[in-house]
Structure 1
Amino acid sequence: MDSILDAIWRAAELLAHADGLIITSGAGMGIDSGLPDFRGTNGFWNAYPALGHAMIHFEEIASPHYFHENPRLAWGFYGHRLQLYRQTAPHAGFALLRQISEGLPQGAHVVTSNVDGHFQQAGFDPNRITEIHGSIHHLQCLRPCQGNIWSAETLQPEIDIHACRIISDFPRCAYCNGIARPNVMMFNDTAWLSSRSEEQEGRLHVWLEKLNNPVVMEIGAGTRIASIRQFGEQLGCPLIRINPNEAQVRGSGNVSIPEGALDALREIHACLKEIKA
């Protein structure tokens, strides 16, 4: 326990001297909010029994294939996720992160592989959020017929949760009337429209140029799809890695905290307050 306490204090000291915070976030950030854990086949099938009964894995349903071959099933999965993310409140760690970042001269910028929109829901500046895999709260044409991306705000899908199928009308493209899909980068996806995420990345790089002493805080990013971990490591600044199962870091200036997001953020926030008192 002492080693975790030492890591918490080292993280707080890094933040106390930083001028900007790069928050890099993976799926583990949402676990404390009550979102399902898709790690492993059993975890995914427990969340979606109908897909388990059909022996459909996450990598299969989270791909454009089923939007073409069985769009009612595909929209059953993504429509349910859209509803779930709308109805789930971000846990208290998001607010603690905001408080930490608001105390830094240049604030924070979020870089996340999550598509749930919870950083926006928690009050983070949308212009300081980069969603590298897109957002379930935005739509595009399945084909796609044009390069348009639009908000899913008015979409209210009716889902048969037990069958994992949409029973209402499909969302439609306003230009060709074809089926729409979430503007989310899926597995084996050659039709994802990345322009919205690219605009976000452009704002991120402009902000990074302002920093002299940045710190990366990585939360809940795993090694299975390592985009978020690699991004933070490549920045070459001190890294605080929060992950209950995969917290290992390389480099003496980096910090490993093997805890869940909410517990670690509470402890870091308390230590930071004490340092600044």
Structure 2
Amino acid sequence: MSALSEAARLIAAADGLVAAAGAGMGVDSGLPDFRGNSGFWRAYPALAEARITFEEIANPAAFRRDPRLAWGFYGHRLNLYRHTQPHRGFAILRAIAERLPHNAFVFTSNVDGQFQKADFDEAQICEVHGSIHHLQCVNGCAGDILSADDISPEVSDATCQLVSPLPRCCHCNDLLRPNVLMFGDGDWVSRRSTAQRRRLDTWLQTTRRPVVVEIGAGKHVPTVRWFSETLGAPLIRINPAEAEVPGLGVSLPLGGFEALEGIQSALLAEGFFA
């Protein structure tokens, strides 16, 4: 039996799908995944010229040190994610989930909001590292988490600097920042993500035969891989470079869209969509 056919067999036997996604899920939509300095600096040449790494700019200290540069980086990403359309693999995953009694729950380290944009149920998404589409005070002031819908960052491509006004906290007038978990981040307001995780845990208690489809989760930030492996459910791991699976599961060393399309074809062959 081929690996794709085995993946289809595991899905067909399940009553709910856990869609566990890392940065690689967005690659087929044209999003960068920031693996290594070379990939990160290709996406942000101004930061490459200054030799600023991803870990240095995706850091709460950057908002104190150089708020216009930090907001230039995050403002560019916010605009990018707003304008990016999810690739067709999202729709394939959603169509598979809709055939299962308990549908799907998403667990993702991505902050891009692509699952919401692909029409996954907002109430069944856990963004473990937060969302760039939400804001908080740099001090965690009042513990508020705000929508970013009302801000439209204008960013200089040449300098990666924010040229529009810096967003300010309505309580203390200090700087607002994205409500995402950054490197070395002791000020992240996690209340929204914690509530999402509680809903996920409740959903998991309702499923008897979940299957995990993990897409594009690497070892550098292993949050998603660790989560997938601790559920004790069959695991379908999709990753072009790091697809090995411990225990019960299927390894698919492919990109996200290619693998999901292959699984869909295998399910069609088995009559899953009849």
> TM-score if structure 2 supplies the norm length?
0.98
2:143 aligns with 147
Alpha-carbon offset, residue 40 of structure 1: 1.0
**Given the alignment of the two structures, is residue 77 of structure 1 paired with residue 40 of structure 2, yes or no?**
no
Alpha-carbon offset, residue 75 of structure 1: 0.1
1:260 aligns with 255
Residue identity opposite 1:221 in structure 2: A
Query: Counterparts of 2:21 and 2:242 in 1: how far apart (Å)?
Result: 14
| Structural mapping, 1:117-128, within 5 Å | 117-128=113-124
Segments of structure 2 that go 5 or more residues without pairing to the other structure are: none
Alpha-carbon offset, residue 37 of structure 1: 3.0
2:26 aligns with 30
User: Percent identity of the aligned residues?
Assistant: 57
Alpha-carbon offset, residue 166 of structure 1: 0.2
1:248 aligns with 244
Query: Counterparts of 1:174 and 1:72 in 2: how far apart (Å)?
Result: 19
**Given the alignment of the two structures, is residue 218 of structure 1 paired with residue 214 of structure 2, yes or no?**
yes
Superposition CA RMSD, Å: 0.8
| Structural mapping, 1:174-193, within 5 Å | 174-193=170-189
2:54 aligns with 58
How many correspondences in the alignment?
Answer: 272
1:203 aligns with 199
Alpha-carbon offset, residue 136 of structure 1: 0.1
Cα offsets for 1:109-148 (capped at 9, x unmatched): 0000000000000000000000000000000001122100
Residue identity opposite 1:136 in structure 2: I
Query: Counterparts of 1:66 and 1:242 in 2: how far apart (Å)?
Result: 34
**Given the alignment of the two structures, is residue 114 of structure 1 paired with residue 110 of structure 2, yes or no?**
yes
**Given the alignment of the two structures, is residue 239 of structure 1 paired with residue 235 of structure 2, yes or no?**
yes
**Given the alignment of the two structures, is residue 92 of structure 1 paired with residue 88 of structure 2, yes or no?**
yes
Give secondary structure in 2 for the equivalent of 1:99.
Answer: helix
2:267 aligns with 272
Residue identity opposite 2:169 in structure 1: C
Alpha-carbon offset, residue 198 of structure 1: 0.3
Give secondary structure in 2 for the equivalent of 1:140.
Answer: strand
Give secondary structure in 2 for the equivalent of 1:166.
Answer: coil
Query: Counterparts of 1:217 and 1:106 in 2: how far apart (Å)?
Result: 15
Query: Counterparts of 1:202 and 1:114 in 2: how far apart (Å)?
Result: 18
Query: Counterparts of 1:94 and 1:162 in 2: how far apart (Å)?
Result: 33
Give secondary structure in 2 for the equivalent of 1:174.
Answer: coil
**Given the alignment of the two structures, is residue 48 of structure 1 paired with residue 44 of structure 2, yes or no?**
yes
Alpha-carbon offset, residue 176 of structure 1: 1.1
**Given the alignment of the two structures, is residue 227 of structure 1 paired with residue 242 of structure 2, yes or no?**
no
Query: Counterparts of 1:35 and 1:196 in 2: how far apart (Å)?
Result: 24
Query: Counterparts of 1:161 and 1:148 in 2: how far apart (Å)?
Result: 31
Residue identity opposite 1:152 in structure 2: A
Alignment partner of 1:15 out of 11, 15, 34: 11
Give secondary structure in 2 for the equivalent of 1:60.
Answer: helix
Segments of structure 1 that go 5 or more residues without pairing to the other structure are: none
Residue identity opposite 1:23 in structure 2: A
Query: Counterparts of 1:13 and 1:234 in 2: how far apart (Å)?
Result: 21
1:171 aligns with 167
Cα offsets for 1:170-194 (capped at 9, x unmatched): 1111111111000000000000000
Residue identity opposite 2:75 in structure 1: G
| Structural mapping, 1:122-141, within 5 Å | 122-141=118-137
Residue identity opposite 1:54 in structure 2: A
